[in-house]
Amino acid sequence: MGNRLKATAKNIEGKVQEFVGDVTGDPQTKAEGQAKQAEANLRHTVEDIKDNFR
């Protein structure tokens, strides 16, 4: 369960960072936020796969 919480936190962090990048017009910050969201989605997928094997 801890990994899911970390992934959710990373997703929220990425959404906030993407929003800040969008508002400020900083494409680097926006891209970093999107990358964090992608990483969080990957972590969720890995946890789903683990759950399916249990």
Whether the full predicted model's pTM is greater than 0.75, yes or no, is: yes
* Calculated CA dihedral for residues 30, 34, 37, 42, nearest 10 degrees: -160
Burial tier of 29 (Cβ tally within 10 Å: 0-12, 13-18, 19+):
middle
On average, the pLDDT of the chain sits at 95
Query: What whole-number distance in Å separates Cα of residue 44 and Cα of residue 20?
Result: 24
pLDDT for 12: 97
Burial tier of 33 (Cβ tally within 10 Å: 0-12, 13-18, 19+):
buried
Per-residue pLDDT tens for 3-26?
899 999 999 999 999 999 999 999
